[in-house]
Structure 1
Amino acid sequence: MNLEYCEAVPKDAKKIIDYLNKVAGESNNLTFGLEDCNLNEVEEMQLIKEIHEDPNSLMIVAKDGLKIVGVASLSGNKKRRLAHRANIGVSVLKNYWHLGIGSNLVAILIGYAVESGIEVIDLEVVTSNEYAIALYEKYGFEIIATYKNFMKIDKEYVDAYLMNLYL
């Protein structure tokens, strides 16, 4: 395995779409499923460009050779009253779980947030996703609330924890 972590660039758009279409079908821990992956390559390129131009946002990809195996994003807020906050999202292909990739992605995002002056990072995590919860707690995230019926998968509701990291 030859892992590399780098900022997503527009030329990664096709590979990111392929990655999202794969990871979306691997678990019910994500806020999106296969039916939600509908950006085309041009739209994904534009999204990556917008993230790159926002000083409070970042998209990182984990690559094993040429293959994207993880994606993480820090999404800052443009409203002045909320500009001290950002939200993160992290996903890793199932075949690459428990190899430290998620941990490395979170560490990179936290480092970027500190450098950018972000004061609070928030996230949502499915309450049954024990590995992700432990990962976030390792970095100092705290559960601040339980969001009942956060997602609805088919006809089943799924709860999530709201977690914050105060930098």
Structure 2
Amino acid sequence: MLITDNVKNTNNLTYTIRSAVEGDALALSELRLQIDGETENLDREPGEAFIDSEGFRSLIKADSESERNLFLVAETNGRLVGFSRCEGTDLKRFRHKVEFGVGVIKEYWGCGIGKQLLQQSISWADENGIKKMTLNVMEANESARKLYEKLGFEVEGILRNDKQLADGKYYNMLVMGRLNI
């Protein structure tokens, strides 16, 4: 699905939240690789589950045509600095929900971009009759967890020792959900 462009101004930064378009494919491939290398909060090591520009082009096209999916990007000064995606399913028993994921490059952490991507996704979900949004977050990622809770997400479960990081230790993941019923 597509949304209307939304221009934001925060902390002397102007950026646009908009639907991803096929022309973003190469930049998204590079952006995802960069984000994966800047944090262990996400699921992948740099280069794992790599999606090339053609893969992103296909994904963007499919998401743009789907009523259950939303692919957003954050752009400033002609540069993509973040993205988010809501993915649903056509299975009847699960058509009421989507799974949310987000990534922002480290240079722009703390600028409110991730929050705006999530808020835009929540608005889209509410306007389109989606009753539940879910996400997974590392229990140790306190800033992300607090943001999700502030926007109405609740912890629904804990996946114990679910992720192993570079330090060799295992970390819990939280399953969070937001209901609009």
| TM-score range normalised by the length of the shorter chain | over 0.9
Residue in structure 1 matched with residue 94 of structure 2 by the alignment: 82
Query: Are 2:33 and 2:47, in contact at CA under 8 Å, matched by a contact in 1?
Result: no
Inter-partner Cα distance in structure 1 for 2:56 and 2:112: 26
CA apart distance, 1:148: 1.3
TM normalised by structure 1 equals: 0.95
Q: Superposition pairs for residues 142-161 of structure 1, below 5 Å?
A: 142-154=154-166, 155-161=168-174
Match of 2:37, SS state, is coil
TM normalised by structure 2 equals: 0.88
Residue type at the aligned position of 1:38: F
Identity of aligned residues (%): 30
Match of 1:109, SS state, is helix
Inter-partner Cα distance in structure 2 for 1:25 and 1:55: 32
CA apart distance, 1:37: 4.6
- CA deviation string 1:20-76 (max 9, x = no partner): 111000010001221315222111100111111110110100011111111111111
**2:75 counterpart (63, 66, 88):** 63
Inter-partner Cα distance in structure 2 for 1:152 and 1:15: 29
Backbone CA RMSD of aligned residues = 1.2
Match of 1:98, SS state, is coil
The runs of at least 4 consecutive aligned structure 1 residues that moved more than 6 Å come to: none
**2:39 counterpart (17, 27, 35):** 27
Structure 2 unaligned runs (5+)? Answer: 1-12
Inter-partner Cα distance in structure 2 for 1:14 and 1:98: 25
**1:42 counterpart (54, 58, 72):** 54
Inter-partner Cα distance in structure 2 for 1:38 and 1:122: 23
